[in-house]
């Protein structure tokens, strides 16, 4: 069968894919020019909702309510939006083969598409405990969360375990957010992770101690510094006990695992130059192959602010990198170039009635203010990271929209300070002084 010709082929139906599609439409893609492939059975949606509002016991989020691009205040792109804009959207379709020389990709059903420009936005997949050969990791009752199908299974399991107990494996982003959701659903939660405290990649011990204390106040049991070595099964093959490395065991019928994600390089692995676990791209997200771009979780890109190269797994970067790559593709057709991608790292989380944001780089010395009053009604606390006499990162718990905007400006401008005491004395007011 002859190849199907498309000017643009977009692989991936996650956040990056949805925002890339919007940018193509905004920049004048013509009907029939863009083909888009997603392994998921539903049109692109805002993935962060899955570990937050989707699992709420009251007024939970459900599709079509959080299709992209509502996460950034844009139009909600329902499945018909793609059709109305002439986009050839293929759901529940996996691309299994690629050829950079012939500029083709082939789906699992055997269809081959020829492209002029290829945009890869395949995102990440969860790290499964089976990857570590953890005994019993194939037991029933063990759940992961990456897509809406996973979320639906977890919702059903939560409904069957109200008033029961659960073990959450992992103390990072997903583990912390899932533990809160399970607790809100009247499930007694025990968290297990090998790190010395919550979210060690970002939090200092002092920052983490606030959140750990808050969670314990909500009835969450936290076991730090050990890992899961095995799961025991009952006679029906379902999990009944979690065995820890320190010799303890936890009886449970529900386990939720959140130990990280890995970039999904798929059939493109070995065809494109790699760096730091992702595909190496330039400041316009061009890969080592002609007319091939990679965005989101899978891209290792030049981070202009800090003069190094990084791979960032976060929804904010997924959105912005996708839009930037499409702008670069369209500009190239007109003989123009776009400004290099100038990204400010941004992370955030919401759980229970807490909400924090972080901007910049968490290197150098952390200066923490307001921690002694953290948790009191109306109180806020935060931190600044100082390197070479400049503020390079800023964190705030409980900030308003305006305060968080000022926080971002501080991290972007990297103001110089005279002393650490200056930050401790100013606290939050420092962000309005810059």
Q: Do 176 and 207 belong together in one domain?
A: yes
Rounded CA-CA distance 309/426 in Å is: 33
- Does residue 235 lie in a domain region? yes
Q: Report mean pLDDT in 10-residue bins for the chain, 434 residues.
A: 87 98 98 98 97 95 97 96 98 97 96 97 96 96 97 97 96 96 98 97 96 97 98 98 97 97 97 98 98 98 97 97 98 96 97 96 96 81 97 96 97 95 94 89
Q: Do 241 and 272 belong together in one domain?
A: no
- Does residue 338 lie in a domain region? no
Q: Do 133 and 251 belong together in one domain?
A: yes
CA angle 114, 110, 42 (to 5 degrees): 85
Owning domain of residue 179 = 129-259
Q: What is the pLDDT of residue 374?
A: 80
Q: Do 32 and 117 belong together in one domain?
A: yes
Nearest to 278 by CA among 249, 247, 301, 256: 301
Q: What is the CATH number of the domain that holds 389?
A: 3.30.390.30
Residue 375: how many CB atoms within 10 A of its CB? 15
Q: What is the pLDDT of residue 315?
A: 97
Q: What is the pLDDT of residue 434?
A: 84
- Does residue 27 lie in a domain region? yes
Nearest to 112 by CA among 100, 122, 97: 97
Task: Report the half-sphere exposure of 116 (CA within 13 A, side-chain side).
Answer: 10
Distance in Å from the first CA to the final CA of the chain: 63
- Residue pair 341/304 in contact (Cβ under 8 Å)? The answer is yes
- Residue pair 183/189 in contact (Cβ under 8 Å)? The answer is yes
CB within 8 Å of 112: residues ≥ 6 apart: 1, 3, 4, 104, 105, 106
For residue 318 the two structure tokens come to 């997924």
CB within 8 Å of 152: residues ≥ 6 apart: none
Q: What is the pLDDT of residue 2?
A: 58
Q: What is the CATH number of the domain that holds 155?
A: 3.50.50.60
Three-state DSSP state, 94: coil
Q: Do 172 and 251 belong together in one domain?
A: yes
- Does residue 240 lie in a domain region? yes
- Does residue 160 lie in a domain region? yes
Interhelix angle 173-184/205-217, nearest 10 degrees: 20
- Does residue 59 lie in a domain region? yes
Q: Do 305 and 415 belong together in one domain?
A: no
| Tally of domains within the chain | 3
- Does residue 339 lie in a domain region? no
Q: Do 55 and 98 belong together in one domain?
A: yes
Burial class (CB in 10 A: 0-12, 13-18, 19+), 208: buried
């Amino acid at each position: 069968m002859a190849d199907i010709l498309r000017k643009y082929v977009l692989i991936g139906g996650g956040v990056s894919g949805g925002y890339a599609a919007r940018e193509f439409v905004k920049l004048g893609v013509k009907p029939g020019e863009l083909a888009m492939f997603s392994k998921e059975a539903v049109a692109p949606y805002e993935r962060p909702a899955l570990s937050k509002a989707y699992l709420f016991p009251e007024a939970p989020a459900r599709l079509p309510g959080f299709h992209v691009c509502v996460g950034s205040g844009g139009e909600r792109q329902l499945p018909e939006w793609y059709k109305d804009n002439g986009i050839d959207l293929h759901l529940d379709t996996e691309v299994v083969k690629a050829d950079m020389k012939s500029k083709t990709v082939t789906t699992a059903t055997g269809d081959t598409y020829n492209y002029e420009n290829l945009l890869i936005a395949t995102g990440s997949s969860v790290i499964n405990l089976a990857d570590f050969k953890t005994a019993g990791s194939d037991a029933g009752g063990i759940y992961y969360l990456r897509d809406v199908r996973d979320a639906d299974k977890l919702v059903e399991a939560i409904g069957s375990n109200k008033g029961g107990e659960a073990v959450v494996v992992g103390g990072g982003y997903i583990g912390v957010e899932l533990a809160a959701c399970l607790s809100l659903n009247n499930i007694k939660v025990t968290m297990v992770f090998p790190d010395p405290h919550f979210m060690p990649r970002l939090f200092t011990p002092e920052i983490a101690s606030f959140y750990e204390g808050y969670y314990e106040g909500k009835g969450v049991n936290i076991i730090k510094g050990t890992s899961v070595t095995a799961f025991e099964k009952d006679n029906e093959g379902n999990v009944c006990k979690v065995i820890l490395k320190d010799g303890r065991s936890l009886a449970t019928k529900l386990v939720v695992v959140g130990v990280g994600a890995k970039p999904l390089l798929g059939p493109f692995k070995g065809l494109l130059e790699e760096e730091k676990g992702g595909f190496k791209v330039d400041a316009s997200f061009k890969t080592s192959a002609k007319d091939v771009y990679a965005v989101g979780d899978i891209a290792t890109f030049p981070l202009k602010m800090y003069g190094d190269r990084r791979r960032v797994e976060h929804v904010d970067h997924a959105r912005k990198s996708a839009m930037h790559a499409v702008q670069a593709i369209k500009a190239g057709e007109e003989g123009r170039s776009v400004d290099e991608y100038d990204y400010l790292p941004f992370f955030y989380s919401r759980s229970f009635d807490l909400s924090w944001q972080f901007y910049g780089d968490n290197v150098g010395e952390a200066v923490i203010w307001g921690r002694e009053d953290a948790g009191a009604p109306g109180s806020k606390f935060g931190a600044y990271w100082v390197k070479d006499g400049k503020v390079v990162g800023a964190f705030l718990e409980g900030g308003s929209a305006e305060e968080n905007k000022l926080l971002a400006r501080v991290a972007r401008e990297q103001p110089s300070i005279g002393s650490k005491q200056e930050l401790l004395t100013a606290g939050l007011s420092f962000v309005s002084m810059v």
